[in-house]
Structure 1
Amino acid sequence: MTLVQHHDDLIATAAAIALPGKGLLAADESTPTIGKRLAGVGVENNEAMRRAYRSLLVTTDGLADFISGVILYEETLFQDADDGLPMVEHLQKRGLIPGIKVDMGVQPLAGGCAGETWCTGLAGLQDRAARYYARGARFAKWRAVLRISEAGAPSELAIRENAWGLARYARTVQEEGLVPIVEPEILMDGDHAIETTAARQEAVLKAVYAALAENGVLLEGSLLKPSMTTAGASHHALQSPRQVGRITVQTLKRAVPAAVPGILFLSGGLGEEEASVYLDAINREGRRSPWHLGFSYGRALQQSCLKHWHGSDVAAGQAALLARARANSEASLGAYQPGSQPSDGDSLFVAGYSY
């Protein structure tokens, strides 16, 4: 079955997300995860405070200069902002494309290596996708999680299972008009070298695109959200931004078809400034690559914003958000000057990160 009904719209939406100098704001944290973020600035996790914080994000004027869309959690997609206007309408009136996280989290993978997982959420996905589209969402996200370990992870079983899940998700949401963001995240946990990450990531990406092809996914109407290719967080050797840029682009060129319009990197626990510097290095290295090399950051766009907002100061929070959005916009053009935008200097790495 071909995707005749939504073919042109899927291609147009993917292209609109992958514009030069643009990326995505990932504001799709689950209720428990946003609770941890709010607790970090002394704010209670209740519906009113979640609404207040996410209202700050979607009402930030000028955000569309640097951001093409926002990934929402289901609560937010169907929630009204503090002024009574639906969150999704605030995004639309500012020229931002609404998106939605559709996976239901990970579960332990029986038969895999210790700590390996598979992603849930395919049951009922077609109906949910149709409901999200009717509400105004135009793209979706599904996060598969893989890890590298001395025990042999990612195992062949984990690679196949997560690649197939990503492909079934992508085909399903495309049939309902949503552009799928395919996210095979490789966690930063471990003490392995960057070359090890590159080899494992190449194998994962090749398996993902083989599964997408088998399921008839329209690549021109899809996007990729991978990890940057870095050494494990506990690795003893230093890695330069230039090395990260070179090996990341090399890995992608070996595994990702040119038909994909955009690659939007996740920050994966990198600090705000570090995520911008690495993205800049990737774009300097990949100037002749066939894809837009942008960003889809959550913590690396929101950390300073949360701290400055602190539960009440909307103007300060929005100013901090715009500063990091501007930094990453410049980085996605290979034009970022390190330190030129204010940022929170804290590490954002969390071992075994889940949300």
Structure 2
Amino acid sequence: MKNQQMERMRKGKGFIAALDQSGGSTPKALAEYGIQKDAYKNEEEMFDLVHEMRTRIMTSPCFTGDKVVGVILFEQTMEREVENMPTPDYLWQKKGILPFLKVDKGLEPLNEGVQLMKPIPELEKQLERARAKNIFGTKMRSVIKEANPEGIQKVISQQFEYGKQIIDAGLMPILEPEVDIHSPDKEESEKIMMTQILKHLNMLEEEQKIMLKLSIPSQDSFYSELVNHPKVLRVVALSGGYSRDEAVELLEKNPGVIASFSRALLGGLSAQQSDEAFDQVLNASIGKIYQASIT
């Protein structure tokens, strides 16, 4: 099964849907979906509502492995069910989509121009639970806001340190050192980051592979060396605050990089839409992102 899944991710045409909004970002995601804060009384009701939203997306007829190769899940979503099946099993067995799990616990305060990940003290137990739930891989996010070599080096070192622990647990890590798209020295940050990533890739053992989730670069095709690197299974791009149309247009200029969008995927969807209208909007969004991902 694992070899089949590895081949699916390595060669599969399509993109990765990011449905991993956590407690802090869920209220905004629900509001954009047309569900305001007065619709729920506590966190439990909030998470019930966001699971209903995610279930509606995942069970849509247009949400299939033909165009979506993976989905990044929040931990609570992994623990819940879709159509009376554990969510990861539903995705893989019913849709042919690989399930990933967000494992980071949020960001540290800004220091040296970057935000490192907070410690993940229960990572080993989390990975054990993910394996039991048939999760294929994980994702964890840091943020780079300034072209500070020391800060960027710490971000990449931390990402690879956790990444190797995830590989040892038998899962595929997606490392996400996001460069803030509003950074005035974004291009310089990307150059420093690239140097650090290549350095750490070349230190991996022969059988060790990772995935990378990166901001769409300022320079077209800048990540080509990473796309073709033998230790990189796939390079995926986050939308980072770009609109869907902007993100799609920029992604098309980076062959070999596929999308891993959240807001750019969900834009235009509403709890108030009929199923027909909902599916039409989602289908159009999936189509645009898919085309940009296979360019």
User: Structure 1 residue aligned with 2:223, among 246, 249, 252?
Assistant: 252
Alpha-carbon shift at residue 13 of structure 1 (Å): 3.4
The equivalent of 1:31 in structure 2 is 23
Q: Which has the higher strand share?
A: 2
Asked if residue 269 in structure 1 is aligned to residue 213 in structure 2, the reply is no
The equivalent of 2:97 in structure 1 is 96
The equivalent of 1:199 in structure 2 is 188
For residues 293-330 of structure 1, the C-alpha deviation after alignment (integer angstroms, 9 at most, x for no partner) is 2111111111123xxx3256344323322221111211
Q: Secondary structure at the match of 2:215?
A: coil
Asked if residue 134 in structure 1 is aligned to residue 115 in structure 2, the reply is no
The equivalent of 1:168 in structure 2 is 161
Q: Secondary structure at the match of 2:266?
A: helix
Q: Secondary structure at the match of 1:65?
A: coil
Alpha-carbon shift at residue 262 of structure 1 (Å): 1.8
User: Structure 1 residue aligned with 2:268, among 288, 301, 304?
Assistant: 304
Distance verdict in 2 for CA 1:184–1:318, change over 3 Å: same
- Aligned-residue RMSD, C-alpha: 2.3
Once the two structures are superposed, the pairs formed by residues 1-355 of structure 1 within 5 Å of their partners are 9=2, 13-43=5-35, 44=39, 46-63=46-63, 64-81=65-82, 83-92=83-92, 93-110=94-111, 112-113=112-113, 116-147=114-145, 153-190=146-183, 192=184, 196-214=185-203, 216=205, 218=207, 221-230=209-218, 247-249=219-221, 251-253=222-224, 258-259=229-230, 260-283=232-255, 292-305=256-269, 309-311=270-272, 313-334=274-295
Distance verdict in 2 for CA 1:109–1:161, change over 3 Å: farther
Q: Secondary structure at the match of 2:286?
A: helix
1:17 alignment partner AA: M
For residues 21-45 of structure 1, the C-alpha deviation after alignment (integer angstroms, 9 at most, x for no partner) is 3110000011231211212343135
Alpha-carbon shift at residue 127 of structure 1 (Å): 2.1
Deviates more, 1:116-125 or 1:51-60: 116-125
For residues 1-34 of structure 1, the C-alpha deviation after alignment (integer angstroms, 9 at most, x for no partner) is xxxxxxx94x653441243531100000112312
For residues 244-274 of structure 1, the C-alpha deviation after alignment (integer angstroms, 9 at most, x for no partner) is xxx231x224666621232111111111112
1:77 alignment partner AA: M
Q: How many residues align?
A: 284
Distance verdict in 2 for CA 1:314–1:173, change over 3 Å: farther
Q: Secondary structure at the match of 1:154?
A: coil
Alpha-carbon shift at residue 184 of structure 1 (Å): 1.2
Report if aligned partners of 2:70, 2:98 keep a CA contact under 8 Å in 1: yes
Distance verdict in 2 for CA 1:256–1:89, change over 3 Å: closer
1:159 alignment partner AA: I
Relative to the length of structure 1, the TM-score reads: 0.73
Q: Give 5+ residue unaligned stretches, structure 2.
A: 41-45
Identity of aligned pairs, percent?
Answer: 23
CA distance in 2, matches of 1:141, 1:26: 10
Q: Secondary structure at the match of 2:101?
A: strand
Distance verdict in 2 for CA 1:217–1:33, change over 3 Å: farther
Report if aligned partners of 2:167, 2:173 keep a CA contact under 8 Å in 1: yes
